[in-house]
Structure 1
């Protein structure tokens, strides 16, 4: 099987005022924020351009459900479809169905503490 996790795809957290939070990070830490948050660009070990997303969400978002936590980590993975199958066979709780977009595939699982984890098989070239 291919690697499972290849890096951090995103850090998502709840905020009482996402726009003010993005402005604060822009003004005080220099993050180049947009309507989604901030995209960090980097190169992997093969020299390919990759991204990691940082995004505050509204405090009442249901995107992290069924987790009740204030955050969700997105991990970059290879072969999401195969990985979700293996994880289910290993007894890991898979949440919902895999979704596919032009910039990649997404799936969700729960860790033992009930944290929802987003798994992303990216197509970074579609993000630039």
Structure 2
């Protein structure tokens, strides 16, 4: 079973997310929106299918990364979230919440061996 298939997003804390988004837009050309920036790409196995990776600044006051004390969180794309979560449970990995389903995919959060929060995402790509 494949586990991680790619990077789904890079999330980080900052003092002023709007200012950061504007700076990256002005100086590095990121096409930002209220959520950050979306980098579209074509899937290797089927180039007719699109995928994307997110770049998202969060307020330094966010609690979204807890219980991790880090100022960042990485979102990894996976193929079969339910099966992967079952395997991770057997391996003793800390699962922080239940799988949530949205129109753009399924999510769950886990902790790595150093307590970094990780977001796993089974995307619904175009």
Quickly name the TM-score band, shorter chain normalised.
Answer: over 0.9
Counterpart-to-counterpart distance in 1, 2:17 and 2:39: 18
Structure 2: any 5+ residue segments left out of the alignment? none
Instruction: Quote the RMSD (CA, aligned, Å).
Output: 0.7
CA positional deviation for 1:32: 0.2
Pair 1:15 & 2:18 matched: no
TM-score (norm 2): 0.96
Structure 1: any 5+ residue segments left out of the alignment? none
Tell me what 2:99 maps to: 98
Counterpart-to-counterpart distance in 2, 1:38 and 1:8: 14
The total of aligned residue pairs comes to: 124
Q: How does 1:1-128 map to 2 (within 5 A)?
A: 1=1, 3-45=2-44, 46-47=46-47, 48-125=49-126
Aligned to 2:99, what secondary structure does the other structure show? strand
TM-score (norm 1): 0.95
| Runs of 4+ with >3 A deviation | none
Q: Deviations over 1:83-112 (max 9, x none)?
A: 011001101111111100011000111011
